[in-house]
Homo-oligomer: A and B are copies of this chain.
Amino acid sequence: MTITIIGLGLIGGSLAIALREKGFAKNIIGVDNNPNHSEKALELHLVDKILPLKEAIVLSDLVIVAIPVDATAAILPGILDIVNLQVVMDVGSAKGVICKAVKDHPQRSCYVATHPMWGTEYNGPAAAISGAFINKATVICDKTESSPGALKLVEELYHLLGMHIVYMDSVSHDVHTAYISHVSHITSFALANTVLEKEKEDNTIFELASAGFESTVRLAKSNPKMWLPIFIQNKDNVLDVLNEHISQLKKFKACLEKENYEYLDELMINANTIKRILK
């Protein structure tokens, strides 16, 4: 099968590696408007060749869109305009706006909306790794809007990558990811800024940083070019969760201010129940 991957970054690149390793892709065509990424992707043999968007689509059986969610929403209708028998999927971290952008497109059924729940704080083709998606969840949204054939191909692809599929409507997806992904990024960005602000008056503040700090702050290294459009598209949900999170933090603050240590203990004991989820 010939596959076009639009966007040769962390996700597009890691998909290229996995799909080639699994024999799912015979030829991989890369499309990227960043010449450095295109060159690097060829050099790393993530893709067999680089072509302009339209030429690539015409030659392909499957088109994977792996670019920031604003760009995805912008180009997806145009891609569907020119597909014939091709299946199109995207991998964006917010799904509502993208699905709305193609809702009434006559070729909507060629498209499958997906979101593999894997990533790192690094980006670009050099960040792509082998074995990236194994044992992770992936979401397929609004599956009844896709044709059975398109859906089947995408399901096969994800099973081959070792992922388990969660089906969800795109609106629910955006609520869920606000809670278990988007807000984590905001807390990391904000925590990094908290300590960086302190560094202005005390330049040794990071001297004692250890694994606990690194763990809570590593997502602050994430690429704003990817995350800004996600926060914009999922603004309302992210704001809801952010408000809830700030009020949870204020509970800790109030406990300390009022020396209500019994309740502080309760808050931590409650948080400990996360062990059910994270082993």
Q: State the A residues within 8 Å of B (CB).
A: 117-120, 136-137, 139, 166, 175-177, 179-181, 183-198, 202, 204-222, 224, 227-228, 231-232, 235, 238-239, 241-246, 248-253, 256-257, 259, 261, 264-265, 267-275, 277-278
Question: Is the beta-carbon distance between A228 and B179 smaller than 8 angstroms?
Answer: no
CB distance from A127 to the nearest CB of B (A): 13
Residues of the B chain whose Cβ atoms lie less than 8 Å from the Cβ of A207: 137, 166, 176
Question: How far apart are the CA atoms of A204 and B167 in the complex, in Å?
Answer: 12
Q: Which residue of B lies closest to A207 (CB)?
A: B166
Residues of the B chain whose Cβ atoms lie less than 8 Å from the Cβ of A186: 249, 252
Per CB-CB distance, the 8 closest pairs between chain A and chain B, nearest first, are: A224-B268, A189-B271, A192-B271, A190-B248, A117-B210, A192-B274, A184-B216, A220-B271
Residues of the B chain whose Cβ atoms lie less than 8 Å from the Cβ of A218: 215, 278
Which listed residue (B139, B246, B264) contacts A246, Cβ 8 A?
B246
> Could you say how many copies of this chain the assembly holds?
2
Question: Is the beta-carbon distance between B248 and A197 smaller than 8 angstroms?
Answer: yes
Residues of the B chain whose Cβ atoms lie less than 8 Å from the Cβ of A208: 117, 137, 139, 166, 176-177, 180-181
Residues of the B chain whose Cβ atoms lie less than 8 Å from the Cβ of A120: 211
For A119, A191, A207, A227, the residue with the greatest tally of chain B CB atoms inside 10 Å of its CB is A191
Question: How far apart are the CA atoms of A248 and B246 in the complex, in Å?
Answer: 11
Question: Is the beta-carbon distance between A187 and B191 smaller than 8 angstroms?
Answer: yes
Question: Is the beta-carbon distance between A271 and B216 smaller than 8 angstroms?
Answer: no
Question: Is the beta-carbon distance between A265 and B185 smaller than 8 angstroms?
Answer: no
Residues of the B chain whose Cβ atoms lie less than 8 Å from the Cβ of A232: 259, 261
For A175, A184, A259, the residue with the greatest tally of chain B CB atoms inside 10 Å of its CB is A184
Q: Given contacts A181-B210, A208-B180, are A268 and B228 in contact (CB under 8 A)? A: yes
For A177, A180, A275, the residue with the greatest tally of chain B CB atoms inside 10 Å of its CB is A180
Question: Is the beta-carbon distance between B248 and A252 smaller than 8 angstroms?
Answer: no
Residues of the B chain whose Cβ atoms lie less than 8 Å from the Cβ of A245: 190-191, 194, 249
CB distance from A260 to the nearest CB of B (A): 11
Question: Is the beta-carbon distance between A217 and B272 smaller than 8 angstroms?
Answer: no
Interchain residue pairs with CB less than 8 A apart (24): A117-B210, A119-B210, A120-B211, A137-B210, A139-B208, A176-B207, A180-B206, A181-B212, A184-B215, A184-B217, A187-B187, A187-B191, A187-B216, A190-B249, A193-B270, A194-B241, A198-B244, A215-B219, A217-B274, A228-B264, A231-B264, A235-B256, A242-B249, A246-B250
